[in-house]
Amino acid sequence: MGCCNAFSWVECIISVFYPSRLQRQQVTMRMRLKLKTVFVMYFMVSFLGLIYALMQLGGQRCDCSDQELSKDQQIAQLKGELQKTQEHIKTSELNKKTDIPRIYVITPTYARLVQKAELTRLSHTFLHVPQLHWIVVEDAPDPTQLVSDFLSASGLSFTHLHKLTPVDRKLQENDPSWLKPRGAEQRNEGLRWLREMGAAAKGKEVAALEEAVVYFADDDNTYSLQLFEEMRYTYRVSVWPVGLVGGMKFERPVVEDGKVVRFHTGWRPNRPFAMDMAGFAVSLRSVLTNPEALFDGNAQMGFLESSFLQHLVTIDDLEPKADLCSKVLVWHTRTEKPKMKREDALQKQGLGSDPDVEV
Amino acid sequence: MPKRRDILAIVLIVLPWTLLITVWHQNAIAPLLAIRKDDGTETRHETGVATDSKEYCSQDKDIVEVVRTEYVYTRPPPWSDVLPTIHVITPTYSRPVQKAELTRLANTFLHVPNLHWILVEDSQRRTPLVTRLLREMGLNYTHLNVETPRNYKLRGDTRDPRIPRGTMQRNLALRWLRETFNSNSSQAGIVYFADDDNTYSLELFEEMRSTRKVSVWPVAFVGGLRYESPKVNAAGKVYGWKTVFDPHRPFAIDMAGFAINLRLILFKPQAYFKLRGVKGGYQESSLLRELVTLNDLEPKAANCTKILVWHTRTEKPVLVNEGKKGFTDPNVEI
């Protein structure tokens, strides 16, 4: 057993099993060869493994957080990040979803101090809604610069229209807001545009229009995002509660056995459709197949909605949404008119604020 | 000879393994960058993919809630490791339009990357309405509350300019920031006070992100004017205030017209809004004069010539038809 000193222990074991020297030599030779190949293979494998590990490490981003980036580099990096995130917002993945019905939102608007602010925060809500097309109708003889610039920068899919309200129907400066129905001409203009588009549509577009929905959204209300998903699948006319309207916390249609039976409102509940403009959506199909359905600008106070809806549907056919009209997803908020006493005083002195600065 | 061969063999065996082990060990020290799985193809009805938990714990567990970042419907924009965080402090109180105001404010905030919303309620306990709203929105938020003692609250609905509203709530948020972030941390942050009824453009948040100390810009519909703005000279420095109402205040600016770098807040831990004895319109000055001088102000919004924030106010809804007993179902949340 002294061989263990001269050679590897493998050969020790061989010598135990193969006592004859020749056999031992042969076996040892074979074993050595085998051992050699084993060694070589093993070496190759571990070498390849090492290369792989090194490549893995090299392929990762190095941990540069400890290094001091120069100021310019930082600024460039931040700008790049900003660009990326802005792109992310604008070219939103929302518009890639073409298999859901489109929502056409008609918003009448008119020039006043808070107009830009109202449209801004409204656009922030709409930017979250996929397949939304915003139809903004100005109460003006021509499209204004403010609204045009705003819409182009908003990142939304839009149509910019305008229609001036006749003087006798227009609210005067000091009239209370409920005196005359507002926005009727503008909404009708929006409907006219939709009907025009519907008539001119061809091919695949016709199918898309079949499923689309029309909603009338005033620029001072507040809309939750769930509302748009509730209204998206409307066959004729769908309805839901509206908060902070009619002198109450909320108004709503009363639903029994899945059908609307009457309207829960504190003011004139016997109207054909005792609802606010924000409380219903109509399918584009209904609008296109009923070309005579328009808002009556001469309607009595509170009957504007009814003047339009009675052409389209009866109370039995209304589709209740928002959990059978038990949740409030839209609020009829109104914005205060900003106090301009000091501005007016300055203007009289000729020292008013720079009119070039758009507010 | 055999000994050398043996040694060679041993070296050849052992060497690759030691190298491998060293490589992987190094790997373990420098952790792999966190991969946020923001699946852009998700449909609306699936809940958030990536849930990143950042736990901000403080000694006073009564006032701090765990901050979670949840991505629902792939909003808000993915969190960037490079952009400074904007900490928006909003005091709020219960009234009929509260949910509406917070909803549309959140709809705006959901577009802003790296925004952390600190909502402080003026109430004895955190209300379920706000708790639920924050959870559903998907924003990165912290929900605090502190009740303003009755003698400091507004009497009824008349606006008494001598009693500043929201002061205690803003101070609580400042205290929370100081307890959560220590001045040695490298986390870049900007602090902005946003009231729940104002209107903010998205550009505003990008303007304030580069604040080094305190940045300022014009605000529309304040002080009885179309807008109030700082006066900026040709060198790009603020030297005065273009206002009619007391332009000689140290900082004649509205709460929505400035933003402060978080480092400055942490560096001056004694700076708070003054609660008592503050004249109308001086609340902003009571904080800013402890932080910065006029010379250090950074004008934004194209040298204070663009309007990026509007001080809108929402009308109080007339609830005459509710009557004494209440006409509508009180269980329905508005």
CATH of residue A161: 3.90.550.10
pLDDT in tens, chain A (359 residues): 444 454 566 666 766 776 777 777 777 777 677 888 888 888 888 888 888 877 876 655 554 444 455 676 677 677 666 766 666 555 555 555 668 999 999 999 999 999 999 999 999 999 999 999 999 999 999 999 999 999 999 999 999 999 999 887 676 766 776 666 789 999 999 999 999 999 998 888 888 888 999 999 999 999 999 999 999 999 999 999 999 998 889 999 999 999 999 999 888 888 999 999 999 999 999 999 999 999 998 888 889 999 999 999 999 999 999 999 999 999 999 998 888 888 888 888 887 778 788 88
Between positions 52 and 91 of A, the ones with CB within 8 A of B are 53-54, 57, 60-61, 63, 77-78, 81-82, 85, 88-89
Residue B227 and residue B304 in contact, taking contact as beta carbons nearer than 8 Å: no
Residue B97 and residue A244 in contact, taking contact as beta carbons nearer than 8 Å: yes
Edge to edge, the sheet with strand A319-320 lists A157-162, A132-138, A103-109, A213-216, A280-283, A237-239, A319-320
pLDDT band of B45, cuts 50, 70, 90: very low
Q: Is the ipTM of this complex over 0.95?
A: no
How many structural domains is chain A composed of?
1
Q: Would residue A166 count as lying in a domain?
A: yes
Q: Would residue A25 count as lying in a domain?
A: no
Pairs of CB atoms within 8 A across A/B = 200
What end-to-end distance do the CA atoms of chain A give, in Å?
102
**In this complex, is the C-beta atom of B18 within 8 Å of any C-beta atom belonging to chain A?**
no
Q: Would residue A267 count as lying in a domain?
A: yes
Phi and psi at residue A282, to the nearest 5°: -120, 150
In A1-110, where do the E strands start and end?
103-109
Residue A190: which domain range?
A: 92-342
Q: Classify B85-310 by CATH class.
A: alpha beta
| A249, B134, B196 from B128: Cα distances, Å | 18, 10, 18
Interface touch B310/A117, C-beta < 8 Å? yes
Residues A320, A273, A228: CA angle, nearest 5 degrees:
40
Choose, from B70, B228, B284, B298, the residue flagged as catalytic. B284
Annotated catalytic residue A251: no
Between positions 258 and 277 of B, the ones with CB within 8 A of A are none
Q: Would residue A62 count as lying in a domain?
A: no
Q: Which residues of A touch B227 (CB under 8 A)?
A: 353, 357, 359
The DSSP string of B24-72 is: HHHHHHSPPPP-----TT--TTS--S-EEEE----S-TTT---EEEE-B
CA–CA separation, B219 and B229 (whole Å)? 6
pLDDT in tens, B188-230: 999 999 999 999 999 999 999 999 999 999 999 998 889 999 9
**In this complex, is the C-beta atom of B14 within 8 Å of any C-beta atom belonging to chain A?**
no
pLDDT exceeds 90 at position B77: no
Q: Nearest Cα to B146, choosing from B92, B195, B86, B66?
A: B92
pLDDT in tens, B274-300: 988 888 889 999 999 999 999 999 999
